[in-house]
Amino acid sequence: MYAYVRSIGEGSYGHVLLCRRRRAESASVGPQPEAAGSLAAIKCFKYAHHDAEAMRLALREIRLLRTLRHPLIIRLEDAFRSGSSGRIYAVMPYIDGGCAGELLSRSPSGLPPRQLKAFAWQLLLAVRYLHDRQILHRDLKPANVLLSQDGTIRLCDFGLARRLDSRQHVSEASERKELTTYVVTRHYRAPELLLGQPYGLPADVWSLGATLAEMACGRPLMAGTSSLDQLWHVLGAVPGPRPPYLAAAVGALGALDNAQLTPGLTPDMLRPARLPGAPLRQRLSGADPLFVDVVEACLRLDPASRATADELLQMPYFKDVQATDSNPALLRLAAWTAQEERPPANGAASIHGGGYGRPAFRFHYSAAGAAAAGIKLHDGDSYVCVRSLGEGSYGHVLLCRRRRAESAFVGPQPEAAGSLVAIKCFKYAHNNQEALRLALREIRLLHALDHPLIIRLERAFRSSRTDRIYAVFPCVDGGCAAGLIARSPSGLQPRKLQSFAWQLLHAVRYLHDRRILHRDLKPANVLLSQDGTIRLCDFGFARRLDSRQHVSETSERKELTTYVVTRHYRAPELLLGQPYGLPADVWSLGATLAEMACGRPLMAGTSSLDQLWHVLGAVPGPRPPYLAAAVDALGALDNAQLTPGLTPDMLRPARLPGAPLRQRLRGKAASQRRREVCGSNHGGGSGRPASRAH
Say if residues 91 and 78 touch (Cβ distance below 8 Å). Answer: yes
Residues 546 and 513 in one domain: yes
What element of type H or E holds 385?
Answer: strand 383-391
Kindly give, in sequence order, each residue whose CB lies less than 8 Å from that of residue 501, ignoring residues fewer than 6 positions away. 593, 596, 673, 676
Residue 693 covered by a domain? no
- Which of 440, 474, 508 marks a domain boundary? 474
Residue 634 covered by a domain? yes
Residue 393 covered by a domain? yes
Residues 534 and 658 in one domain: yes
Residues 71 and 166 in one domain: no
Q: 78, 96, 132, 139: which is the annotated catalytic residue?
A: 139
Question: Exposed, middle or buried: residue 412 (CB in 10 Å: 0-12, 13-18, 19+)?
Answer: exposed
Give residue 668's pLDDT.
Answer: 53
d(CA 400, CA 384): 5
CA distance readout (Å), 21 to 4, 27, 93, 564:
9, 12, 11, 41
* Interstrand relation of 459-463 and 375-378 (parallel, antiparallel or unpaired): parallel
Query: In CATH, what number is assigned to the domain containing residue 56?
Result: 3.30.200.20
d(CA 462, CA 471): 9
Residues 421 and 459 in one domain: yes
Give residue 252's pLDDT.
Answer: 58
Give residue 28's pLDDT.
Answer: 47
- Which of 93, 114, 146 marks a domain boundary? 93
Residues 518 and 617 in one domain: yes
Give residue 584's pLDDT.
Answer: 93
Query: In CATH, what number is assigned to the domain containing residue 112?
Result: 1.10.510.10
CA distance readout (Å), 386 to 215, 404, 457:
42, 15, 20
Q: What three-state secondary structure class fits 492?
A: coil
Residues 14 and 143 in one domain: no
Residues 553 and 682 in one domain: yes
Q: The domain containing residue 560 runs over which residues?
A: 481-687
Residue 260 covered by a domain? no
Residues 499 and 454 in one domain: no
Say if residues 610 and 643 touch (Cβ distance below 8 Å). Answer: yes
Residue 187 covered by a domain? yes
Kindly give, in sequence order, each residue whose CB lies less than 8 Å from that of residue 427, ignoring residues fewer than 6 positions away. 10, 393, 394, 395, 396, 435
d(CA 643, CA 292): 38
pTM: 0.53
Number of domains in the chain: 4
Residue 694 covered by a domain? no
Say if residues 115 and 71 touch (Cβ distance below 8 Å). Answer: no
> Catalytic: 139?
yes
Residues 195 and 143 in one domain: yes
Residue 519, Cα to own-chain centre: how many angstroms?
A: 16
- Which of 331, 354, 377 marks a domain boundary? 331
Give residue 277's pLDDT.
Answer: 43
List of long-range contacts for 438-441, beta carbons under 8 Å, 24+ apart: 438/394, 438/540, 439/469, 440/369, 440/370, 440/372, 440/373, 440/375, 440/469, 441/373
Residues 312 and 215 in one domain: yes
Strands (DSSP E) along 1-157, which ranges? 2-10, 14-21, 39-45, 78-81, 88-93, 135-136, 145-147, 153-155
CA angle 39/41/42 to nearest 5° reads 125
Residue 399 covered by a domain? yes
Residues 568 and 668 in one domain: yes
Residues of the chain where predicted confidence (pLDDT) is lower than 70: 24-34, 166-184, 239-240, 249-278, 322-381, 405-415, 547-565, 620, 630-660, 666-694
Residues 288 and 373 in one domain: no
> pLDDT tens, 162-206?
988 755 455 433 344 343 434 567 899 998 888 878 889 999 999
The DSSP result for 411-477, as a single string, is SSSPBPTT-EEEEEEESSTTT-HHHHHHHHHHHHHHHT---TTBPPP-EEEEETTT--EEEEEEPPT
Give residue 228's pLDDT.
Answer: 73
Give residue 103's pLDDT.
Answer: 92
Residue 352 covered by a domain? no
Give residue 558's pLDDT.
Answer: 39
Q: How many CA atoms lie within 13 A of 581 on its CB side?
A: 18
